[in-house]
Amino acid sequence: MSIARAGILVVDRLACLRGRAPFGPPMRLPALGKTHEEALGTYRGFDALAWPHEDHPGFRVHDGVARLSDLAQVRAYLASLPDYAECDLIAIGTESTKPPPNWRFLGLDVGYFQSEWDRFSVLLNEVVYGAHEDLRRHAASLNRYLLLDSEAPARALLRERAEIARQGGDVEEGEMNTIAVFEPERE
């Protein structure tokens, strides 16, 4: 299942390298010859430590995202974070979501996002950090944000995953979808 509605998310991408995420640093090296810091710092998808500090007065989080109309309050929350420079404010939506006003499209992630605690990015976990070389080869299709620019490479990736799963390969279970990722234009 994909996200229920478009919304805003604040993520700390490097938290796992500092021991703040539920999981420690990734065990295998990232694709594309990147270091962990480069890969995690470049990736602009949704799969990172969400809402790094749970206390966020002024807005509510529902199904893991804040309303687009709460942008000013979310910006204030982000500015108050001790690791502000390592966090990103993004919006996510379905693959057909048009960029909200004053936001720009970064690309498509592939996976599922149910909430801040129940999410999985195929691109991050099975392409950039994957165990299957057939999936890691898809890293060549990623844009500068380690996302996909269109649906065609996402469909090819999902077909490859389905074949690996059919053959008994270890890939995440569940319905995988494309999820559009946006960032606010600079003020």
- Residue ranges with strand state E in 4-82: 7-12, 49-50
The domain containing residue 35 runs over which residues? 7-184
pLDDT digits (tens, 9 = 90+) for 32-72: 888 888 998 899 999 998 998 877 778 999 999 999 999 99
pLDDT digits (tens, 9 = 90+) for 61-79: 999 999 999 999 999 999 9
Residue 2 lies in a domain: no
Residue 153 lies in a domain: yes
**Computed from CA positions of residues 84, 144, 91, 2, in that sequence, does the dihedral angle turn out positive or negative?**
negative
Confidence check: pLDDT of 4 > 70: no
3-class DSSP state for residue 108?
Answer: strand
Number of domains within the chain: 1
pLDDT, position 126: 94
| Contact present, 39 and 128 (Cβ < 8 Å) | yes
- What are phi and psi for residue 82, nearest 5 degrees? -65, -30
pLDDT, position 1: 39
B/e letters for 13-29, b = 16+ CB within 10 Å, e = fewer, are bbbbbeeebeeeebeee
Residue 69 lies in a domain: yes
pLDDT, position 187: 59
Residue 1 lies in a domain: no
Residue 22 lies in a domain: yes
pLDDT, position 65: 94
Mean pLDDT of the chain: 88
| Contact present, 14 and 22 (Cβ < 8 Å) | no
pLDDT, position 14: 81
Q: 8 is written with which tokens?
A: 């805003």
Residue 3 pLDDT grade (very low, low, confident, very high; cuts 50, 70, 90): low
pTM: 0.91
Residue 63 lies in a domain: yes
Residue 70 lies in a domain: yes
B/e letters for 132-151, b = 16+ CB within 10 Å, e = fewer, are beebbebbebbeebbbbbee
Residue 109 lies in a domain: yes
| Contact present, 130 and 169 (Cβ < 8 Å) | no
Cα-based distances in Å from 37 to 22, 25, 41, 111, 114:
18, 10, 6, 22, 26
